[in-house]
Chain A
């Protein structure tokens, strides 16, 4: 294979991987607060694209407004979902809550079908123009946006978790909920904010990728599997590990394409199973000895 072809595959892998990374962050944030895998995470991605298209085409908002509006609306939906579907059953087994999120995912998808129809809906690129040549390969302009969004998100989350009261409260809940409560932390509020934040990140990914792929009411479940695999690969721990998991998954997918492009979608599931069997704590997390 030519170097430029190889480079093109790497670029594609990092582009897709960045999307998986944003979804993996959403899974990780909700898991940290609740020990629940939120399978509605993919629907936030779908809804992000949908609302951006809707605001852009029906209301004629410029993209620079349509995008933040879509992200905020979906964040609100995430908070609402937590209040209506999760909080009433907050003391249930995690498994029961996971089933609720699967149900929520189906509800979101069918509501989207009624509201937005079943056609694929396009959105223009944020900054239209030809691809940028790079060492014999080409980089889509939208890919640069996607990378930029991931970088800003990681920087923002690192600041949030490391340097703010809210971020520390979120980490405290993740490590020892009972002790967090005793420190006067309102854990119910932390859960609500986590859902809102995860939904916003999912929506951001969906909005960023819609100019490349269009969006449709039924794309949520497929992307959720990839985001989930990336989150598991990263170990459901730190934001950086989630991003690394996403990028790695994107690259692995591209690595199998030269052999069989049909295999690409199997990769996420294969990786998911392999990690769960061989290294359930994820690739990057060191296992800590238990204190008695």
Chain B
């Protein structure tokens, strides 16, 4: 059975149909990319998939249960986390503290416990910090653990956001254009990080504009154009797909 199942989602804004009857399945332990030229409906599809927007039609089910319309923190508790195009870090905290906040849902000590049971809190805090360091190592930022998030360069901030999302202990991680604004070296580091995360058993869905990254890391690709799914398959097939080539060539012609 698939982990995440998108069935016939449609989303309209006024007279514009941003996403039109899109379906696909994401299987556990894979990196699944959603790509498409500008305005293809990637971001809208992403917001519907993560429960931020309600679809006008269709369903999104995670492990067999529907997650459309759930509150964000409920979705996180189910094991689904997302990152944003515009990073939303806690700028005045250190990198390590950002990850620790990301771990909030799975650390046990309750509000009163924190106020009253000091020794237990210390032990848990120590474990939590070790775990947070481990997350930073996964994205290659352990050396920056003490750096203030607001002072970090853009590339590191994107990686930090991924580490923070990992903190929630997700089964499924949805990344919105993680390579946006990264240079080639940073994109390569990102690709390596994503593979490492997949190999720890986390399923990844990535909505991305950067073709290099997508072809490099994806196990499976869904191509959207003008709100519709026009192709689906592994990278090698997608690269040769005439409909995909046409959609992207059309965009380049427009850009020129």
Give residues in A with beta carbon < 8 Å to B: 160, 163-169, 171-172, 175-176, 178-186, 189, 193, 288, 291
Total A-B pairs in contact (CB under 8 Å)? 82
Q: Encode contact with A along B136-154: 1 for CB under 8 Å, 0 otherwise.
A: 0000000000000010000
- Chain-A contact segment, one of B16-24, B97-105, B195-203: B97-105
Task: Sort A-B residue pairs by CB-CB distance and give the 3 closest, nearest first.
Answer: A184-B105, A166-B114, A179-B88
Asked if A176 and B109 make an inter-chain contact with CB atoms under 8 angstroms apart, the answer reads no
Asked if B90 and A185 make an inter-chain contact with CB atoms under 8 angstroms apart, the answer reads no
Which residues of B sit under 8 angstroms from A167, Cβ to Cβ?
114
Q: Encode contact with A along B106-141: 1 for CB under 8 Å, 0 otherwise.
A: 010101001100000110110010000000000000
Asked if B90 and A165 make an inter-chain contact with CB atoms under 8 angstroms apart, the answer reads no
- Chain-A contact segment, one of B58-66, B71-79, B211-219: B71-79
CA distance A237 to B72 in the complex (A): 28
Q: Is the interface of B mostly helix, strand, loop or mixed?
A: helix
Which residues of A sit under 8 angstroms from B102, Cβ to Cβ?
183
CA distance A181 to B70 in the complex (A): 13
CA distance A24 to B148 in the complex (A): 26
Give residues in B with beta carbon < 8 Å to A: 72-73, 76-77, 82, 88-93, 97, 100-102, 104-105, 107, 109, 111, 114-115, 121-122, 124-125, 128, 150, 164, 168
Which residues of B sit under 8 angstroms from A175, Cβ to Cβ?
90-93
**Chain A: CB-nearest residue to B97:** A168
Asked if B150 and A176 make an inter-chain contact with CB atoms under 8 angstroms apart, the answer reads no
Asked if A182 and B101 make an inter-chain contact with CB atoms under 8 angstroms apart, the answer reads no
CA distance A181 to B105 in the complex (A): 11
CB distance from B222 to the nearest CB of A (A): 24
Asked if B88 and A178 make an inter-chain contact with CB atoms under 8 angstroms apart, the answer reads yes
Which among A183, A186, A291 has the highest number of chain B CB atoms within 10 Å?
A183
Asked if B104 and A169 make an inter-chain contact with CB atoms under 8 angstroms apart, the answer reads yes
**Chain B: CB-nearest residue to A189:** B111
CB distance from B233 to the nearest CB of A (A): 32
Asked if A184 and B91 make an inter-chain contact with CB atoms under 8 angstroms apart, the answer reads no
* 11 pairs, CB–CB < 8 Å, chain A vs chain B: A163-B122, A165-B100, A166-B111, A168-B100, A169-B104, A171-B92, A182-B73, A184-B77, A185-B104, A288-B92, A291-B91
**Chain A: CB-nearest residue to B74:** A184
Which residues of A sit under 8 angstroms from B92, Cβ to Cβ?
171, 175, 288
Asked if A166 and B115 make an inter-chain contact with CB atoms under 8 angstroms apart, the answer reads yes
CB distance from B105 to the nearest CB of A (A): 4
Which residues of B sit under 8 angstroms from A184, Cβ to Cβ?
73, 76-77, 104-105, 168
Asked if B125 and A179 make an inter-chain contact with CB atoms under 8 angstroms apart, the answer reads no
Q: B73: which of A165, A185, A193 is its contact (CB, 8 Å)?
A: A185
Which residues of B sit under 8 angstroms from A291, Cβ to Cβ?
91, 150
Which residues of B sit under 8 angstroms from A176, Cβ to Cβ?
88-91
CA distance A177 to B76 in the complex (A): 16
Asked if B104 and A193 make an inter-chain contact with CB atoms under 8 angstroms apart, the answer reads no
CA distance A182 to B84 in the complex (A): 11
Asked if B88 and A193 make an inter-chain contact with CB atoms under 8 angstroms apart, the answer reads no
Which residues of A sit under 8 angstroms from B122, Cβ to Cβ?
163
CA distance A128 to B97 in the complex (A): 45
CB distance from A176 to the nearest CB of B (A): 6
**Chain A: CB-nearest residue to B157:** A291
CB distance from B59 to the nearest CB of A (A): 22
